[in-house]
Amino acid sequence: MSIALSYNIPRSVSPVVLVGGKDERAMIGELAGDDLAALAKIGIRMRFARNETLFSEGDEATYSYRVVRGAIRLCKHLADGRRQIADFILPGDYCGFLYLEQHRFTAEATGDLEVIAYPQRQVEALGENMPSMRRRLTKFLSGRLMNMQDHLIMVGRQTAKERVISFLMRLADNADAADGEAIGLPMKRQDMADYLGLTIETVSRVLTCLKRSRLITLPNLHQFAITDIERCRDLVEWGEEIWRPGSSKMMDIAEA
Amino acid sequence: MSIALSYNIPRSVSPVVLVGGKDERAMIGELAGDDLAALAKIGIRMRFARNETLFSEGDEATYSYRVVRGAIRLCKHLADGRRQIADFILPGDYCGFLYLEQHRFTAEATGDLEVIAYPQRQVEALGENMPSMRRRLTKFLSGRLMNMQDHLIMVGRQTAKERVISFLMRLADNADAADGEAIGLPMKRQDMADYLGLTIETVSRVLTCLKRSRLITLPNLHQFAITDIERCRDLVEWGEEIWRPGSSKMMDIAEA
DNA sequence: CGACTGATTGATACGTCTCAAGGATAGTGG
DNA sequence: CCACTATCCTTGAGACGTATCAATCAGTCG
């Protein structure tokens, strides 16, 4: 069943971005080790500044990208300016495409961005000729769907605090960070808000709240650390009750 | 890049559901016409009652399904019972799998359900052997991601009224229905709510509101009709302003 | 006809948004 | 190195939309 929110968009088929996470990175590595030394060589290093566009809705796919530093945001816009970010592509992640006619969303840099771009045609050729590559790309695409489902439940059914924690946990996981270890936060508050389906103010308030509760620390605007990953995991899994029984006001999180 | 459904991947990877829409149905038809007469024959007719489970989180994929009557809901659960439905599979839609390790969500019948189940192995074999099939399945999977993105912006950035209208529009579109034509609503209010990220009461209120505004009619609980599809399209695209300038209370939608 | 499930409606509570002000940070040019 | 400035972030007060709780209504099936 296909639902389209943006009914003015032609019902043609369109390209899909593949976005890899921690697991998929291994895949890329393996590919390179396997048969893709050639692919590694055709990669072109590119840089973008904050808010620069890698591609827009309607563009044709010419490159796939691997993020070296910074992050890419994939987003959709409503006519009145509301924006929803469908995914972030973080350092080490891969963002590729399946051939369809055109993009249905926009990719922009959330800050200083460094990527390696691979000509799409060459990647496609590899997919066509190598069953092992096909298989990995399939897994990869599947993983994307999984993440989308998690994102959906986050935006649809979790509270602001749960969303923010989930998000930070994802970043921590992606960085393989330990308790207290500083983790890069390569996007602005507005980007976080649009990813989480919140406003910038709410994100800010929640962060303050988490900080006060000693669940996280914020050395500066572009870094954070999770004090107790285990406890955060419980918070996300078991909901508000842990915050403090009988109260869920923003400021009422128990001091640890 | 040809992303294939690599169906002979070792069973260490987890399955992903493929869900087809109006467009994808054509694909299945074409496949059947092409080389898949055999597949059509191996289909097994199955029936399920409301809330029966086709598969659960953790199950292995043994069948893919095509819905004949009723609808399947694909959902995820939080520990405290909150639920988010990631997708509905409607009559004519297809629901297949790519393997990774295990299902990460549950598939249940939203009411009386009739499906045709295809043994996964046989579908897999077809994917492996036929490049054209691979390509279609890729497009198909890509379409899923597109829909998920639309669903995300809906749940993350649209108001209750916009979500309900979008949803009804999707159903109407899927059914190729004209203005005023009765369309089946093969799920309960709770299912709609969990899909839209709302409560059952809010869904009910919005429906009442739309009815009063003469945007839709509800002959009975399992059917609806859109009075003016064009107007609904505008509402979704341009937001609340059309409802009635200066007011957005539930009861304040202009009478047409 | 009851008994049951699901849908509607109402009153109120609560979480997040909106609007507005002030504070922090980073970049720029003298 | 220090104003100067633009941008981003934080905080507060109040409004608004949706959730919650509770009662009633409408179908359905024995």
- The band of A26, judged by pLDDT with boundaries at 50, 70 and 90, is low
pLDDT band at A106 (very low <50, low <70, confident <90, very high): very high
Q: Å between A232 CA and C8 C1'?
A: 39
Pairing of strands A223-226, A216-220: antiparallel
User: Is the CB of residue B201 inside 7 Å of nucleic acid strand D?
Assistant: yes
Can you tell me the distance from the alpha carbon of B203 to that of B190, in angstroms, rounded to the nearest whole number?
9
Give, in Å, how far the C1' of C29 lies from the CA of A221.
26
Q: Which chain A residues in 93-132 lie under 8 Å from chain B, judged by CB atoms?
A: 96-100, 104-105, 120, 123-124, 126-128, 131
Run of H or E residues at B216: strand B216-220
Q: How far is the CA of A169 from the C1' of D5 (A)?
A: 36
Sequence-separated (6 or more) residues with CB below 8 Å from residue A86: A74, A75, A76, A105, A148, A151, B148, B149, B152, B153
The dihedral formed by the CA atoms of B104, B137, A72 and A8, expressed in degrees to the nearest 10: -110
Chain A residues within 8 A of B20 when measuring between CB atoms: 1-2
Residue of A nearest to B71 (CA): A1
Give the pLDDT score at B28.
57
Mean pLDDT of A13-30: 59
Distance CA B87, CA B203 (A): 17
8 Å CB contact between B44 and B117: yes
Nucleotides of D under 7 A from a protein CB: 8-13, 16-22, 27-28
Q: Choose the mutation target among B145, B170, B183, B243 for the interface with A, i.e. most A CBs under 10 Å.
A: B145
| pLDDT-derived band at B11, boundaries 50, 70, 90 | very low
* pLDDT score of B8: 29
Distance A201 CA to D13 C1' (A): 14
Among A128-142, B9-23, B42-56, the range scoring the smallest mean pLDDT is B9-23
- Predicted confidence band of residue B14 (pLDDT cuts 50, 70, 90): very low
pLDDT, averaged across chain B: 80
B245 compared with A225, residue with greater pLDDT: A225
- Given a cut of 60, whether residue A16 has pLDDT beyond it is no
* Cross-chain Cβ contact A79/B156 below 8 Å: no
pLDDT in tens, B53-92: 999 998 888 888 889 999 999 999 998 889 999 999 998 8
Note the pLDDT tens digit of each residue in A147-164.
899 999 999 999 999 999
pLDDT at A245: 37
Please check whether strand D approaches the CB of A248 to within 7 Å: no
Distance CA A154, CA A1 (A): 22
Is the pLDDT higher at B18 or at B254? B18
Cβ–Cβ under 8 Å, residues B66 and B116: yes
Q: What pLDDT does residue B132 have?
A: 74
What's this model's pTM, rounded to 2 decimal places?
0.86
Nearest to B174 among A1, A82, A141 (CB): A1
For residue B233, give the nearest of A7, A15, A126 by CB distance: A7
Give the one of B5, B80, B174 whose C-beta lies nearest to A239's C-beta: B80
pLDDT in tens, B202-213: 999 999 999 999
Largest CA distance in chain A: 60
Confidence grade of residue A21 (pLDDT, cut at 50, 70, 90): low
Collect all residues with Cβ–Cβ distance below 8 Å to A121 and sequence separation of at least 6.
none
Contacts of B86 (CB under 8 A, 6+ apart): A148, A149, A152, A153, B74, B75, B76, B105, B148, B151
The mean pLDDT of chain A is: 80
Cα separations in angstroms, A119 against A49, A63, A163, A246 = 21, 5, 36, 56
In this predicted model, which residue has the larger pLDDT, B59 or A250?
B59
Give B161-205 pLDDT, tens digit per residue. Answer: 999 999 999 999 988 999 999 999 999 999 999 999 999 999 999
Question: pLDDT, tens digit, for every residue of A54-65?
Answer: 999 888 888 888
In sequence order, what DSSP letters do the residues of A33-45 get, joined into one string?
A: HHT-HHHHHH-EE
Report residue B133's pLDDT band, with 50, 70 and 90 as the boundaries.
confident
CB A169 within 8 A of CB A202: no
Residue B244 has pLDDT above 70, yes or no: no
- Distance, in Å, from the CA atom of B73 to the CA atom of B107, rounded to the nearest integer, reads 6
In this predicted structure, the answer to whether residue B256 has a pLDDT above a threshold of 50 is no
Strand D contact at CB of residue B138, distance < 7 A = no
pLDDT of residue A98: 63
Range in A63-72, A120-129, B25-34, B211-220 the model is least confident about = B25-34
- Take residue A175 and report the two structure tokens written for it: 């960085």
Per-residue confidence (pLDDT) for residue B3, from 0 to 100: 29
Check CB contact of A12 with chain B, cutoff 8 Å.
no
Q: Please, what is the end-to-end C-alpha distance for chain B in angstroms?
A: 50
The predicted pLDDT at position B98 comes to 61
B204 touches strand D (CB under 7 A): no
Task: Name the nucleotide nearest B200; use CA and C1'.
Answer: C7
